Structure 1
């Protein structure tokens, strides 16, 4: 802590924010909600304040009408909390690979006036930890002109790149409050369970895992109890990882980089997860520029990158961030890991999705919706998994991959997809893949 520095109230800390400033907000379970609210309470006296962040969680609201003239939310990844504002006149979205976001701060493409973060209390040497979310936050702290830290004793102290000496913090606010919690395991139905089984069958002993967010990755983990010597190098993880580390199934013994250590960049889960990673030397929480670097990812063996999609067309183009022109999420780290896994020796890049939406609409489509964003190109996509099977599109021509994808579409939609195939490519239906056949 700087000489004579003291803890102040959130209302005092955010007085540094001025009209026209760009403010970074720490994301995920580390979202400093109390600081955000204190800043928003000044909306009558502020104007044109730009807020930048990735996923935010917790009791925060960026969409209230009274905030819209004062704050502009420039999202680096859209989440449920920011979806409305990002699609409004008071917000927008920056398409970017997660691995490259730190460059925006370091190269002053997005100069930061203020960074609002949440950290663990200083240790005896004066170091705080960014805890559950190192990702882009360490770059933001290093680039910002002024750093405000919400110091929370419930924030775990994690090992890796997230240590920040209190001398780098300009203003500190003490706040003892629970971190946001998310439990993905309760959402697993029959479709998700079947997808999880399919993916688990592709994972070999000694593989290095990367898992995205949600119920499908959680279900995959539940099916790995018979595996051995797995590694973990992933941009995020949740509670499902814990039993595999505790039983030694994930021991990182086969990794070439960070051997013996599980590597991540942020974590979202329950209090059990936050307690598990607290001061745990087995876990390294590192800068996203390292974790999601394709050149780093590819060096580990048999990288299994498991990511999701909103829809995929018959040629293999993957839309994972928008529903037509509506910005639903973001590019995130999907392409970082899809490419890294594809280049890894024995690696598999997997796109996993239920065959239909909750309304029964096919996710495998003849053409992506008008305005939809292509996150993973058809040149990058390899493995695709639905509850009806697994196909490998690598090396297949347009007709072959269309037939393969129709074979794992929902049965109610295969006839319509076959008709779309004939309109586009001609020919008859001979050779369409059967359900569940591995291509």
Structure 2
């Protein structure tokens, strides 16, 4: 009963909750669908009353009104990772991009290297013990909650109450806003023949009993769709989505043979359908944890046979991956690619896959290049990249000489570009 009294005392409208925001504050918002729509809509509607307020987030999924170049002196977005809502503004320069390993973001808050005066987050209804679950994105949010002056929760009955380290007590909350807007659903990407071919190469190299980390995208999901004949797979990942749910329903994911946290799926954010969110609710087989737990290369590598599958946009003949920018133009972000590449490399029997189509723009550009395009942000370094997969095959790089790497990568390039790549490699004294 005491918890209910606290709840009612802190309950208010989204507009009233804005009293906890001061000029100059940074408002931290969780990843993706864990963003609170009522609070961010209210902030957008009243943005001109504020000065120098920043909203910081990974991967916004809705383009709220504050995404407005005309009012950035009032409320401005800072991205830890870009999506469709934030990418145009970042490329035009009125949205700031803050690079950093996903796994280290909680540490950056703890050490005061990134600001977090206020947290706005979507949360489950309160349980009998006074706790809410920030289940759809505990990621960096739990660390920001510890540093924030004020935590404002948007309580939505459709948010799952998940297990793990994703809970906050009513006594820690400054204000509570109730809303029942449907949680954003994100469908599976479209899978074409190129993605399917790449997926088969990877799937054929995954053994029964392996533990999976699967990033978002058509190629990772193409891998998932071709794992239905495997047995006793486990999950220790950054994102849990409908692809993994499909494997659970097929009986492929059991987590029984995991060497770290056997019997448990582990993730740091959810992104998918209503069916996925229902699956997450009070499911003892799933734990949602902050990203410094899920993505820590040492902890993740305690899973034997860890398989990391991540996409890239370009790779050079040394094995450097440009996965987050188009030249100097930001496109996505650092995210967890390097975290899990390193984790899989450390894992006993682990395999780290970088997957990409061999070409772009209707086969006019080779994604395997002699050198990365000028200004490209390097996401996975040459010393970390191991298996590179295109629709033409697999190149295994670690332990190889520069010449051997170049030869292997040219061998999985689109045939129409292999001669010019060979010529470029000869000029570079690689062949």
TM-score tier, shorter chain, comes to over 0.9
Equivalence for 2:67: 63
What CA deviation, in whole Å up to 9, does each residue of 1:249-288 have, x standing for no partner? Answer: 2111121221101111111111111111111111111111
| Alpha-carbon distance, 1:6 to partner | 4.1
1:349 correspondence with 2:356: no
Matched residue SS, 2:257: coil
2:45 alignment counterpart: 41
Q: C-alpha distance in 1, partners of 2:113/2:178?
A: 32
Do the aligned residues in 2 keep the contact of 1:62 with 1:81 (CA within 8 Å)?
no
Q: Aligned pair in 2 of structure 1 residues 426, 103: CA closer, same or farther (>3 Å)?
A: closer
Structure 1 residues without counterparts, runs of 5 or longer: 428-439
> What is the match of residue 195 of structure 2?
192
Within-5 A mapping of 1:333-348: 333-348=336-351
What TM-score results when the alignment is normalised by the length of structure 1? Answer: 0.94
Aligned partner (choices 206, 210, 226) of residue 207 of structure 1: 210
Pairing partner for 1:148 from 147, 152, 156: 152
Structure 2 runs not aligned, ≥5 long: none
1:21-170 matched pairs, under 5 angstroms: 21-170=25-174
> How far apart are residue 4 of structure 1 and its match?
5.2
Deviation at 1:152, TM superposition (A): 0.5
Distance 1:121 1:3, change over 3 A: closer
- Structure 1 residue 351: deviation in Å? 0.2
What SS is found at the alignment partner of 1:275?
Answer: helix
**Partner in structure 2 of residue 390 of structure 1:** 394
RMSD: 1.5
Report the Cα offset of residue 74 of structure 1. Answer: 2.1
Query: What CA distance in whole angstroms lies between the structure 1 residues aligned with 2:62 and 2:84?
Result: 11
Question: Distance between the aligned counterparts of 1:95 and 1:422, measured in 2?
Answer: 35
Matching residue within 311, 315, 318 for 1:312: 315
Q: Which of 312, 325, 329 lines up with 1:326 in the alignment?
A: 329
Contact between 1:62 and 1:82, CA under 8 Å: does it hold in 2? no
1:426/1:300 CA distance change after superposition, 3 Å: closer
Q: Is the partner of 1:345 in helix, strand or coil?
A: coil
Structure 1 position 243 matched with structure 2 position 249 = no
Distance in 2 (CA, whole Å) between partners of 1:261 and 1:138 is 21
Distance 2:306 2:89 in 1: 36
Distance 1:260 1:24 in 2: 32
Aligned to 1:362: 366
Q: Say which SS state the counterpart of residue 76 (structure 1) adopts.
A: strand
CA apart distance, 1:134: 1.3
What TM-score does the superposition give when structure 2 sets the normalisation length? Answer: 0.96
Deviation at 1:84, TM superposition (A): 2.1
SS in 1 for 2:96: strand
CA deviations on 1:304-330 (whole Å, 9 max, x unpaired) are 010111100011110111111111111
Pairing partner for 1:18 from 10, 22, 29: 22
Q: How many residue pairs align between the two structures?
A: 426
Per the TM alignment, residue 217 of structure 1 is displaced from its structure 2 partner at its CA by 1.5
